[in-house]
């Protein structure tokens, strides 16, 4: 059992820690409740903390599993890990194999989209529902603004901004809220503390760079999208997202016309801003069977 850091508010995040030792370091994950599994996959610069509202509620009837990627949250932050979405996807697969899960409801957000959906593409028979929140699974070449920023961020100045100035948790994270009141000082502290040194922020920088660098891997995932057509899909989208354009939702809807779509007046971190609506939508999707 890992030690709880002193800064962690046990009322906000009242969960037991579990860990799995991987080749490059130890990953922390939550495993709460029992029943059919719901796996929550976070993006950047967040960690399993971002899913706390959903887990508190859904763990009454389901087994809720939420890992922290290496370099995020309470997981190790090794200097010699690749920190690419592909490398994180390999770690997620190792964790889910270790837990021997079946009939998974897979909930993905932000970079957790391609990371989690890579597992669904490889093991579609184990995934019962897909829940998509403000994410993508294709290369973003058409998004010229995102590409321009990513290419800049992959250079020396970008690395300085991310690792030295904590650009992602300090400046980008607040941009992800439509109503800033939801990012209280206490909540923000839980995103800043795990990333409190330049070395700890390497993962956030690598993600920024990977938007352009991981194009071939994203393309490879998208080419296999037909494998997901038979899995019931719910898309919950924060329409006031300042970080990802609404055109991404249009692409999901175009290629998965049978998906159920729920639009919320929320920013990028809709699971924070519209916690109960997100939980209710997930529950409704699972209970539709």
In 33-160 the beta strands, taken as DSSP E runs, fall at: 37-41, 63-67, 104-110, 127-135
CA angle 88, 176, 94 (to 5 degrees): 15
Among this protein's residues, is 268 annotated catalytic? yes
The answer to whether residue 280 is catalytic is no
241 classed as catalytic: yes
List all residues 6 or more positions away from 223 whose beta carbon is below 8 Å from its beta carbon: none
Q: Is the peptide bond before 45 cis (omega within 30 degrees of 0)?
A: yes
Among 110, 129, 139, 190, the one annotated catalytic: 110
- What tokens appear for 228 in the block? 């997901």
* Rounded Cα gap, residues 232 and 85, in angstroms: 24
CA distances from 136 to 21, 215, 233 (A): 29, 12, 14
CA distances from 20 to 196, 239, 272 (A): 23, 36, 27
Catalytic hit among 42, 69, 190, 268 = 268
Sign of the alpha-carbon dihedral angle for 5, 197, 176, 86? negative
Residues with a known catalytic role: 110, 241, 268
């Amino acid at each position: 059992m890992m030690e709880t850091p002193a800064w962690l508010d046990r009322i906000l995040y009242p969960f037991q820690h579990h860990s799995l030792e991987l080749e490059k370091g130890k990953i922390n994950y939550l495993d709460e409740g029992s029943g059919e599994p719901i796996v929550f996959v976070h993006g950047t610069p967040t960690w399993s903390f971002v899913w706390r509202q959903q887990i508190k509620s859904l763990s009454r009837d389901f087994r809720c599993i939420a890992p922290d990627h290496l370099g995020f949250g309470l997981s190790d932050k090794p200097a010699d890990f690749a920190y690419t979405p592909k490398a994180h996807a390999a770690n997620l697969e190792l964790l889910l194999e270790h837990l021997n899960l079946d009939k998974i409801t897979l909930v993905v957000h932000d970079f957790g989209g391609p990371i989690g959906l890579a597992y669904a593409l490889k093991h579609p028979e184990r995934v019962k529902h897909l829940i998509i929140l403000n994410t993508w699974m294709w290369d973003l070449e058409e998004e010229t603004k995102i590409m321009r920023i990513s290419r800049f961020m992959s250079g020396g100045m970008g690395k300085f901004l991310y690792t030295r100035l904590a650009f992602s948790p300090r400046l980008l994270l607040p941009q992800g809220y439509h109503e800033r009141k939801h990012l209280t000082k206490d909540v923000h502290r839980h995103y800043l503390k795990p990333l409190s040194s330049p070395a700890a922020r390497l993962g956030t920088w690598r993600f920024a760079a990977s938007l352009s660098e991981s194009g071939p891997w994203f393309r490879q995932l998208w080419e296999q999208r037909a494998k997901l057509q038979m899995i019931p899909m719910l898309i919950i989208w924060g329409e006031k997202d300042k970080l990802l354009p609404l055109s991404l939702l249009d692409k999901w809807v175009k290629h998965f016309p049978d998906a159920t779509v729920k639009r919320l007046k929320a920013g990028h971190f809709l699971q924070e801003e519209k916690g109960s609506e997100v939980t209710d939508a997930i529950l409704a999707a699972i209970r539709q069977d």
